[in-house]
C-alpha cells in the first residue's frame, strides 16, 4: 500500500483516541517528511509532539496485532513514519557529529526554502544548520560536540547565529584547527574547528580554547596533546562587546575593552565604491587615453561636469601602499556619468552598474585596499571617484581625515580589523566599527604626521613615470650639477634612504601614540620593519632601467630635457611641437628602431649615447656609458654600447609591459623570432600614415642593407685564407639570410596593413587598439588578453 492523503487511509482507532485527532497527526507527519530524502535529519520533531506520537505508536501497534486487514495495512505504512519521528525527537546527554558543509549555491530550491524558514540564522551553510539542529537532540544541559568549518566564528552571515549562541549556550572548549587539519584535505580552503557547546548559558564562564591554526595535522595534534597555545582568560560574554560578536578568543581584555570607545562611524562615513558592471568598457589606465580628455584633480561633481572631460581619476585599491599613490585608473564619467549610470542589461532593461556615491565623489577622503594579505594600507584621496575594491571614508573635517589616515596605517588598526574581519576582506561596514580611542590632542598630532607622510609618499610616487605628476626621472631632474652618473646615483640613494628614515620615524611615532592610547603596550610593538615602508628603494639596476625608459620617452617626445613633466600625450601626432625639444631633439615621427645591430643612426641604443652626452656632458660620456652598461649587467667581452643595445633589444619591452601593466605606450613592431627588425612606435603619436613611414624609412631600407651585407660577406668568405674563417663567415651569411627572408615576409604584411591606413580611437584603450595590427606587434596575446591577462 502506498501512502496517500490522510482522508483516504483506513485508520485504526484506539480506545482513547478519535479519528479526527489521529488523522491530524498523520497529516502533520506526512507533511513533515514530504522532503525527507532531501532534508534528512535536519527535520525537527518538537517535544510537544512526542506524547501524541507515543500514543499513536501504541494505537498502530495494536492495529498491527489485530485481525483487521485494513487496519493492519494502514499500520504497516504508518508505523515507520511514527517511529522515524520518535527517533528524530529523542534527546541525549551528548551529541557528536561531523556535519556536511554546503553553501547556498549548492542547495536545491526546496532545501533553500526550508533553510530560510526553519534555520534563518544559520541558513548560509548546511553545517551551521546542523549545529543548531544538534541542540534539538540535546537535553537542556546536554553537550553538542562537532567538527565544522570555522567560518561561523567570524563571518557576518553567521552574526545572528553567533549572538544567539553566545547568549543562550556555553562554549565549554574548542580546538581551533584552521587549515590542513586533516592529511587527506590539503590547501587553505577547508579551515575547521572542533568544539563542545553546552545547551545552557553560564554567565561569566571562561571557555578553554586551543589555537592550532599553524602547521600540519601531526603538529596540531602534538600541540593539543601538550596543552600548547591554550587560551582560557576570556569570558564568553565579552565576545559580544566586539562588533559582530566574533569568537576572537585570542585577544586580550584591553583589546576587547577598546571596542567600548567611539567608532570610525561616529566621525566619518564609510562608503562601498562603485561597481561599473563592465570594467573593460568603463575603465582605463590613465596613460592609455588622450590627455586632453583627462579630468585630473577635479574637486567636485559640478566642476567635473563643466570640464567636458571624459576620463576622471578612479581609486581602485591596488598594491600594498600607504599614504599616497595607486593613482593609475580613470573612469568614463563624461556628462556626469551618463553612460555608466544608464548602462543596462539589454534583455531586461535593468541598470547593471551601481553605488555611484554621487554625494561623495571627488571629495577628500581616505581610501583603503579592500583585500589584504597583511596589514592595512590606506591613502589620501582627492578628486577621485572610487571602486568597490577601493572603498573610502569621508570625515566632515580635514584634520579628522588625516588623523584617520594615520590610524588606518597603524599596527593598532591592523590588529583590530583582523578581529572584526578575519577573512582579510575589509568592507566599509568592517572599517566603520573600528574604535577610535585617541584624544583630540593626539588626533592633531596624528593629522600632522599624516600630512608629512603624504608629502614623502607623494614625492616617491611622482618619481615614477606612471604618475601623472611625474616631472622627470630623479637621476636627471634633481642632480643636474653632477657630471658623473655614478655620483648622481649615489646622491639619489642618500635621498631615498633619508625619505625611508623619515617615513619610518613617522609610522613609529604613530604606532607608539596609538598603542598607548589603546592600552596595548604589552601586545604590540611600535617598531616598523623595512618591508612595511611602501617607498621605493635605491636599486642600481632598476634605476638605470628607469633612466633608459625616460630617455626613450624623451626620444618619443613624451618628455623633454627642456621642460618638466608630460609634454606630448595627445593623439594622432596632432599639435606636436618639435621646438620644445632643443637640448635633446625628439624623433621626427615617433618611431625608434631597436635592432640588435647598428643599422640606423637614430636607433634607440645610439641615441642613449646622445642622451647621456646631453645630460652629463661630453667629457664624462665614456665613463657614464661604462657605468650604465655595468648597471645593466655587462657580459664578458661586451663594449658598453653592446650591453646597452642588448638590453634594449631583448629586455626593454618586457620591462615596459610590466611597468605599464600590459597596456604599453611604446608599441613594439617586430618581424619575428629572427629579430631582423624591431622598432618602438609611440601610441600617442601614431597616425594613419605611421605604418607607411615605418616601411619606407626603415623596413625597406633595412632589407637592402641586409642583402648588401650578405653579398659582402660572401665575397669575404671566397677570399678567406682558412677554413675556420670561411666557416665563420658562412654562419654569419646563413644567419643574415634567415633574417632577410623574415624581413621580406614582414614587409609584405606591413605593406598590407599600411594600405589600410588604420586609425586609433584612444578611448577604446590599448587592449582593443593593440589587436588591430595582426602579428606586426610583439606580445599581442599578452596585451589583448589572449594569455595572462589580468
Q: pLDDT tens for residues 622-631?
A: 999 999 999 9
Angle between the 50-65 and 19-32 helix axes, to the nearest 10 degrees?
110
Region 123-140 average pLDDT: 95
Residue 183 has pLDDT above 80, yes or no: no
Mean pLDDT of 744-756: 97
> Which of the two residues, 70 and 514, has the higher pLDDT score?
514
With pLDDT > 70 as the criterion, what percentage of the chain qualifies? 96
Q: Is the pLDDT of residue 5 over 60?
A: no
Give Cα separations from 164 to 158, 161, 194 (angstroms).
10, 5, 19
Rounded to whole angstroms, the Cα distance separating 242 from 434 reads: 10
Confidence of residue 66 (pLDDT cuts 50, 70, 90): confident
Closest CA to 220 of 256, 192, 245: 192
Dist CA 90 CA 81 (whole Å): 14
Task: Examine the pLDDT at 11 and tell me if it is beyond 80.
Answer: no
DSSP lists the bridge partners of residue 193 as 148, 176
The per-residue pLDDT of the chain, averaged, comes to 92
95-250 CATH = 3.40.50.150
The SS3 assignment for 49 reads helix
Mean pLDDT of all residues in 196-202: 97
Give the model's pLDDT for residue 48.
82
Instruction: Let me know: does 584 contact 554? Beta carbons within 8 Å.
Output: yes
- The pLDDT-based confidence of 55 (bands split at 50, 70, 90) is confident
Cross-strand pairs, 695: none
What pLDDT band is residue 785 in, cutting at 50, 70 and 90? confident
pLDDT, position 47: 79
> Minimal CA–CA distance to 400: which of 266, 221, 561?
266
Please check the confidence at residue 9 and state whether its pLDDT lies above 50. no
pLDDT tens per residue, range 413-441: 999 998 988 777 889 999 999 999 999 99
- 678-690 tens-digit pLDDT: 999 999 999 999 9
- Nearest residue to 499 (alpha-carbon basis) of 472, 468, 526, 461: 461
Measure the CA dihedral 718/719/721/725, to 10°. Answer: -60
More confident residue, 175 or 421: 175
Instruction: Mention every residue, 6+ apart, whose C-beta is less than 8 A from residue 442.
Output: 513, 517
Question: For residue range 345-389, what is the model confidence (pLDDT) as tens digits?
Answer: 999 999 999 999 999 999 999 999 988 767 899 999 999 999 999
The residues, any chain, with a CB within 8 Å of residue 121's CB and separated by 6 or more, are 132, 158, 160, 161, 164
- What is the reported pLDDT for 267? 96
Q: How confident is the model at residue 227 (pLDDT cuts 50, 70, 90)?
A: very high
For residue 340, pLDDT beyond 80? yes
CB 511 within 8 A of CB 598: no
Q: What are the C-alpha distances in Å from 615 to residues 126, 623, 628?
A: 69, 13, 14
Other CB atoms within 10 A of residue 584 CB: 18
The share of the chain scoring above pLDDT 90, in percent, equals: 81
Is the pLDDT at 1 greater than 60? The verdict is: no
Residues 6+ apart with CB under 8 A from 137: 90, 91, 92, 95, 144
Contact between residue 600 and residue 593 where contact means Cβ atoms under 8 Å apart:
yes
Q: Residues 6 or more apart from 382 whose CB is under 8 A from it?
A: 297, 299, 364
Residue 156 confidence (pLDDT) above 80: yes
Strands 138-149 and 92-97: parallel
Average pLDDT in the 269-282 region?
96
Residue whose C-alpha is closest to residue 466's, from 296, 664, 659: 659
The candidate with the shortest Cα–Cα distance to 469, out of 459, 480, 457, is 459
User: What is the domain partition of the chain in residue ranges?
Assistant: 6-90, 95-250, 265-532, 540-689+759-784
CB within 8 Å of 670: residues ≥ 6 apart? 677, 678, 776, 777, 778
Distance CA 165, CA 160 (A): 9
pLDDT above 90 for 2: no
> Among residues 488, 458, 490, which one has the least CA distance to residue 476?
488
**Which residue shows C-alpha cell 590539503?**
186
Q: What is the mean pLDDT of residues 531-556?
A: 97
Q: For 472-488, what is each residue's pLDDT tens digit?
A: 999 998 887 899 999 99
- C-alpha grid cell for residue 783? 596585451
What's the confidence (pLDDT) of residue 19? Answer: 55
Amino acid at each position: 500500500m502506498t501512502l496517500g492523503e490522510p482522508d483516504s487511509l483506513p485508520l485504526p482507532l484506539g480506545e482513547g483516541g478519535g479519528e479526527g485527532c489521529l488523522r491530524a497527526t498523520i497529516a502533520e507527519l506526512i507533511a513533515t517528511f514530504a522532503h525527507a530524502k532531501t532534508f534528512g535529519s535536519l527535520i525537527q520533531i518538537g517535544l510537544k509532539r512526542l506524547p501524541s506520537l507515543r500514543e499513536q505508536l501504541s494505537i498502530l501497534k495494536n492495529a498491527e496485532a489485530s485481525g483487521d486487514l485494513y487496519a493492519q495495512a494502514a499500520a504497516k505504512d504508518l508505523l515507520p513514519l511514527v517511529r522515524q519521528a520518535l527517533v528524530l525527537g529523542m534527546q541525549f546527554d551528548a551529541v557528536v557529529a561531523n556535519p556536511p558543509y554546503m553553501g547556498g549555491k549548492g542547495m536545491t530550491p526546496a532545501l533553500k526554502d526550508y533553510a530560510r524558514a526553519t534555520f534563518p540564522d544559520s541558513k548560509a551553510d548546511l553545517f551551521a544548520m546542523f549545529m543548531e539542529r544538534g541542540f534539538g537532540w540535546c537535553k537542556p544541559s546536554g553537550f553538542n560536540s562537532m567538527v565544522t568549518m570555522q567560518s561561523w566564528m567570524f563571518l557576518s552571515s553567521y552574526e545572528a547565529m553567533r549572538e544567539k549562541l553566545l547568549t543562550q549556550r556555553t562554549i565549554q572548549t574548542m580546538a581551533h584547527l584552521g587549515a590542513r587539519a586533516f592529511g587527506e584535505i590539503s590547501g587553505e580552503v577547508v579551515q575547521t574547528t572542533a568544539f563542545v557547546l553546552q545547551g545552557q548559558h553560564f554567565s561569566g564562564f571562561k571557555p578553554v580554547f586551543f589555537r592550532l591554526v599553524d602547521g600540519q595535522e601531526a603538529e596540531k595534534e602534538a600541540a593539543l596533546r601538550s596543552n600548547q597555545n591554550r587560551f582560557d582568560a576570556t569570558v564568553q560574554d565579552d565576545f559580544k562587546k566586539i562588533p559582530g560578536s566574533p569568537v576572537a578568543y585570542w585577544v586580550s581584555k584591553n583589546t576587547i575593552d577598546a571596542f567600548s570607545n567611539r567608532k570610525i562611524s561616529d566621525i566619518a562615513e564609510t562608503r562601498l565604491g562603485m561597481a561599473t558592471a563592465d570594467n573593460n568598457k568603463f575603465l582605463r589606465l590613465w596613460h592609455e587615453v588622450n590627455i586632453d580628455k583627462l579630468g585630473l584633480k577635479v574637486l567636485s561633481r559640478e566642476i567635473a561636469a563643466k570640464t567636458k572631460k571624459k576620463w576622471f581619476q578612479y581609486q581602485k585599491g591596488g598594491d600594498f601602499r600607504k599614504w599616497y599613490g595607486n593613482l593609475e585608473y580613470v573612469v568614463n564619467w563624461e556628462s556626469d556619468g551618463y553612460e555608466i549610470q544608464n548602462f543596462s542589461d539589454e534583455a531586461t532593461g535593468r541598470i547593471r552598474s551601481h553605488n555611484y556615491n554621487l554625494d561623495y565623489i571627488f571629495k577628500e577622503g581616505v581610501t583603503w585596499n579592500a583585500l589584504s594579505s597583511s596589514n592595512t594600507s590606506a591613502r589620501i584621496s582627492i578628486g577621485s571617484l572610487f571602486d568597490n575594491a577601493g572603498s573610502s571614508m569621508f570625515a566632515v573635517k580635514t584634520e579628522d581625515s588625516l588623523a584617520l589616515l594615520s590610524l588606518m596605517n597603524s599596527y593598532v588598526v591592523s590588529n583590530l580589523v583582523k578581529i572584526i574581519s578575519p577573512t582579510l576582506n575589509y568592507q566599509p561596514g568592517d572599517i566603520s566599527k573600528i574604535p577610535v580611542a585617541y584624544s583630540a590632542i593626539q588626533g592633531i598630532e596624528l593629522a600632522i604626521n599624516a600630512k608629512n607622510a603624504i608629502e614623502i609618499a607623494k614625492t616617491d610616487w611622482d618619481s615614477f613615470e606612471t604618475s601623472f605628476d611625474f616631472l622627470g626621472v630623479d637621476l636627471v631632474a634633481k642632480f643636474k650639477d653632477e657630471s658623473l652618473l655614478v655620483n648622481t646615483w649615489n646622491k639619489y640613494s642618500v635621498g631615498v634612504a633619508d625619505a625611508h628614515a623619515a617615513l619610518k620615524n613617522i609610522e613609529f611615532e604613530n604606532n607608539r601614540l596609538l598603542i598607548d592610547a589603546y592600552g596595548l603596550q604589552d601586545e604590540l610593538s611600535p617598531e616598523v620593519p623595512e618591508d612595511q615602508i611602501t617607498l621605493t628603494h635605491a636599486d642600481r639596476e632598476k634605476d638605470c632601467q628607469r633612466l633608459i625608459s625616460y630617455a626613450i620617452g624623451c626620444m618619443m617626445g613624451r618628455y623633454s630635457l627642456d621642460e618638466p613633466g608630460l609634454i606630448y600625450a595627445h593623439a594622432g601626432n596632432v599639435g606636436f611641437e618639435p621646438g620644445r625639444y632643443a637640448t635633446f631633439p625628439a624623433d621626427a615621427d615617433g618611431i625608434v628602431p631597436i635592432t640588435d645591430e647598428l643599422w640606423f643612426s637614430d636607433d634607440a641604443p645610439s641615441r642613449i649615447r646622445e642622451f647621456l652626452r646631453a645630460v652629463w656632458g661630453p667629457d664624462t660620456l665614456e665613463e657614464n656609458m661604462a657605468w650604465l652598461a655595468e648597471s645593466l649587467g655587462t657580459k664578458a667581452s661586451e663594449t658598453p654600447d653592446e650591453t646597452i643595445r642588448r638590453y634594449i633589444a631583448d629586455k626593454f619591452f618586457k620591462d615596459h609591459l610590466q611597468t605599464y601593466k600590459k597596456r604599453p605606450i611604446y608599441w613594439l613592431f617586430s618581424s619575428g623570432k629572427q629579430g631582423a627588425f624591431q622598432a618602438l612606435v609611440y601610441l600617442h603619436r601614431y597616425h594613419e600614415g605611421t605604418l607607411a613611414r615605418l616601411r619606407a624609412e626603415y623596413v625597406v631600407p633595412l632589407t637592402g642593407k641586409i642583402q648588401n651585407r650578405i653579398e659582402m660577406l660572401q665575397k669575404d668568405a671566397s677570399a678567406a685564407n682558412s677554413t675556420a674563417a670561411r666557416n665563420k663567415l658562412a654562419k654569419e651569411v646563413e644567419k643574415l639570410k634567415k633574417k632577410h627572408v623574415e624581413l621580406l615576409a614582414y614587409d609584405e604584411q606591413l605593406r598590407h596593413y599600411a594600405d589600410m591606413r588604420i586609425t586609433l580611437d584612444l578611448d577604446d584603450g590599448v587592449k582593443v587598439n593593440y589587436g588591430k595590427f595582426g602579428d606586426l606587434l610583439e606580445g599581442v596575446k599578452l596585451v589583448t588578453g589572449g594569455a595572462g591577462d589580468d
